[in-house]
């Protein structure tokens, strides 16, 4: 495999995709394939090339991928419905792989989730729809024959400030499960290293942070170091599920947090740390850094 110089990024304007695209651009030539170029220009560094493309339009994807060495995919499935006709992480991936045919894509990396990591499946009670769909998408990528890596991250620390509303840090359901929380900054650095040495990368790569904290402990540490005046508010899962009968967004949140509350993190990331470096950001460090830039919330 020749050295990778040019990387196309799908999902570069997402909450996790944008920081990874920016970090990749420090080392590689990055082309963001986006539906809204105007939005992307407000979010991405000026040295990121921006082209328009849509996962429903194979011709636009093929044009956008032309001349690229590698592909990073940052997509999400946010539904509890298993019967939709189009999911970005399955039908969109199928279109994307069709678009790569005949091009010289050397390597593909995609963000997934720890719940789609094969060794974790034996500990999975009832997997959630997003993981079921993304695993089907992973099979489509594997069938392409292009060398690839599926990153399997645990909870991102960035979820915590996203859960702040009405001066309270909110959660749904069980807060006792322990998680190896990871920061997107540490994850982005690991992604860069993977693209620098793709031949050494396994097919599945678990992503976990440096310390295991329960949701309750993580919330307490975050509040202490970010804003001690914040309250903690935990909604009963059953209430969210009842509301979900009438509201699709709440139905998805109930589905998501029911899964979260049933799955703790065993430690899987020893090889990842060896190959890509041990993450260093703790919840305390993350919160203190965020406190210095409150406009980020």
d(CA 68, CA 7): 6
- Ranges of each domain in the chain: 6-154+183-207+266-272
The structure tokens listed for 156 are 């991102």
pTM above 0.85, yes or no: yes
The CATH fold of domain 6-154+183-207+266-272: Rossmann fold (3.40.50)
Pairing of strands 70-73, 168-172: unpaired
Q: For the segment 66-114, what is each residue's pLDDT rounded down to a tens digit?
A: 999 999 999 999 999 999 999 999 999 999 999 999 999 999 999 999 9
Nearest to 201 by CA among 150, 270, 268, 277: 150
pLDDT digits (tens, 9 = 90+) for 230-250: 999 999 999 999 999 999 999
Residues 6+ positions from 145 with CB-CB distance below 8 Å:
none
pLDDT at res. 295? 53
φ, ψ of residue 212 to 5 degrees: the values are -95, 120
Closest CA to 158 of 186, 196, 118, 128: 186
The answer, yes or no, to whether residue 297 has pLDDT greater than 50, is no
Rounded Cα gap, residues 148 and 198, in angstroms? 8
Residues 11-63: tens digit of each pLDDT = 999 999 999 999 999 999 999 999 999 999 999 999 999 999 999 999 999 99
């Amino acid at each position: 495999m020749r050295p990778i110089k040019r990387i196309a990024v799908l999902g570069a304007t997402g909450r996790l995709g944008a920081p990874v695209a920016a970090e990749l651009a420090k080392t590689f030539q990055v082309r963001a394939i986006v539906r809204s170029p105007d939005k992307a220009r407000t979010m991405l560094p000026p040295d990121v090339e921006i082209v328009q493309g849509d996962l429903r339009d194979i011709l636009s994807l093929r044009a956008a991928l032309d001349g690229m060495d590698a592909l990073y995919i940052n997509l999400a499935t946010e539904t509890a419905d298993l019967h939709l006709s189009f999911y970005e992480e399955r039908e969109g991936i199928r279109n994307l792989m069709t678009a790569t045919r005949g091009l010289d894509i050397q390597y593909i990396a995609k963000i997934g989730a720890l719940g789609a990591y094969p060794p974790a499946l034996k500990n999975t009670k009832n997997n959630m729809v997003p993981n079921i769909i993304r695993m089907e998408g992973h099979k489509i990528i594997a069938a392409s024959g292009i060398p690839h890596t599926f990153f399997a991250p645990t909870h991102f620390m960035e979820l915590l400030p996203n859960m702040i509303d009405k001066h309270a840090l909110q959660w749904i359901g069980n807060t006792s499960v322990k998680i190896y929380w990871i920061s997107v900054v540490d994850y982005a650095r690991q992604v860069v290293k993977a693209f620098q040495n793709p031949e050494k990368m396994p097919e599945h790569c678990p992503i976990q942070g440096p310390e295991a904290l329960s949701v309750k402990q993580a919330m307490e540490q975050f509040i202490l170091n970010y804003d001690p005046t914040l309250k903690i508010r935990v909604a009963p899962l059953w209430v969210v599920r009842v509301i979900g009968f009438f509201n699709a967004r709440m139905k998805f949140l109930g589905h998501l947090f029911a899964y979260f509350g049933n799955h703790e993190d065993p430690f899987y990331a020893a090889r990842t740390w060896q190959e890509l470096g041990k993450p260093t950001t703790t919840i305390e460090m993350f919160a203190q850094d965020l406190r210095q830039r409150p406009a980020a919330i």
